[in-house]
Structures are given as structure tokens and as C-alpha cells.
Amino acid sequence: MKRINTSRYAEFGKYTKREKMVKLLKDYGIRNQSVLNAFLTIPRHCFIPESEQEKAYRDQAVQIGYGQTISQPYVVALMLENLHLTPGDHVLEIGSGSGYVLALLSLLVKRVTGIELEKALVTQSRDMLKKLKIENAEVINGNGYLGYRSKAPYNAILLSAAPDALPENLLSQLKPGGKLILPVGRSQQLLVLYESVNGEWKGKVITDVQFVPLRDEKPV
């Protein structure tokens, strides 16, 4: 377990709001203390447009522009908890948006790589990560369906947007024993965790979810 200084970003304010959010996550059944500490530490409001600031610590997805959202805290916490991350891991996040989940992951693992299609969000994400002095996360402007082979293999891959079906090429970018978690589907979506069992990939459904679609396009 990585030691997390939960007051690291106290100067950014709204710490008591984060405490209330973490209490809610506990009430919903999140038990991993490192995950809870990460949510307590990272100032979610810094990754949200000013016009949406009042929603920053509600348990809901929030619009961040370009048709994208920052995901519901409980669902993100559930995804992180189910990956059973360790401090030495390298994680790939696909659809990294404004960088909030990257910031959370930076406290939990050794290294995190994000892919985001919208160039403006890539710039925002890089700027905020730099402002928070997070040095073990990077963001690539690219098509998430392709993953990012040049930095593979990964211990875990997390998708923060939903493809219609599993992009199976992502499985080949995982280390042996690696895990992939993603929302999948169009009108009705499921959160699914993929793990290799006796040499075969098996999917485990965790819950119903609603994410923005993962776009299969050239970076913009």
C-alpha cells in the first residue's frame, strides 16, 4: 500500500466536501482504504469547469465539455477497487478526459498513462497534473480503441468511456495476470472486469452503468 498524504492539496480547498464524499463512498460499500484516501486527497473540483463547480462533490457524472463527462465517484471507486492495484503497477486509462482518474491513479500506482481523443482536454489534463505536481502520469492524444502499445504491457487497463463491445486488441497489451475493466454497450451498459483464468479471458459483470460512448475516430 502506498502511503498517501491526504492533506497534500489542502491549499486547493473543499477538503470537508471531499470528506463527505468519501463517507458516502464508504456507505455505498467501498472498503479499499487506499482508494478512499485517493478520493480524499485529489481536489475533484479542479478538473471540472467553473460553471459545474457546485456539482463537484456530488455522486454524479459532471459535464466537462466536448460531449464528455467526469465519471460518477462511486463508479470510479468501484472500478479502482475491483482492479486490486499495487504500488508497482503501470496502468493505462482510456478516455481520460480532464485527468481526474489519472490523478487518483497516480497516488495508487507507480505509473499511469492516459489516452484522450479531444486535444483540448489533453491540454487541460496536462496543465492540471502539472499544477498538482503529479509526475508519474502522462496523457497521450490518441484513439483509445487502439490502446497504446509503445508503453505496453500494463498491469491494468481502465476504460472511462463505453465501446459497443470489448476491443479485444487491448487484452494483448496486458501483462500476464493483468486486468481490464470497462463499461460496455450502447443503450444498456454493463461494467465488466476481464481476467485471464486458466489461459482464457473471462468477463465478470459488476453492475449496470451509464458512460459516454468511446469514439473510434482520429484524434481531434
- Residue 23 located in a structural domain: no
- Residue 17 located in a structural domain: no
- Residue 153 located in a structural domain: yes
Bridge partners, 83 (sequence order): none
DSSP state of 213: B
Q: At which residue does the C-alpha cell 498513462 appear?
A: 113
Task: Exactly one of 34, 71, 98, 125 is catalytic; name it.
Answer: 71
The answer to whether residue 218 scores a pLDDT higher than 80 is no
What domain range includes position 119? 73-209
- Residue 81 located in a structural domain: yes
Render pLDDT for 95-145 as a digit per residue (tens, 0 to 9).
Answer: 999 999 999 999 999 999 999 999 999 999 999 999 999 999 999 999 999
The answer to whether residue 2 scores a pLDDT higher than 80 is no
We report the CATH number of the domain holding residue 198 as: 3.40.50.150
- 73: confidence class by pLDDT, cuts 50, 70, 90: very high
- Residue 35 located in a structural domain: no
Residue 96 designated active-site: no
Q: What is the dihedral of CA 18, 32, 213, 211, to 10 degrees?
A: -60
Number of domains in the chain: 1
- Residue 183 located in a structural domain: yes
- Residue 57 located in a structural domain: no
Mean pLDDT of all residues in 203-209: 95
The answer to whether residue 61 scores a pLDDT higher than 90 is yes
- 67: confidence class by pLDDT, cuts 50, 70, 90: confident
Mean pLDDT of all residues in 160-171: 94
179-198 in b/e form (b: 16+ CB < 10 A) is bbbbbbbeeebebbbbbeee
- Residue 114 located in a structural domain: yes
Instruction: Please tell me the predicted confidence (pLDDT) of residue 116.
Output: 96
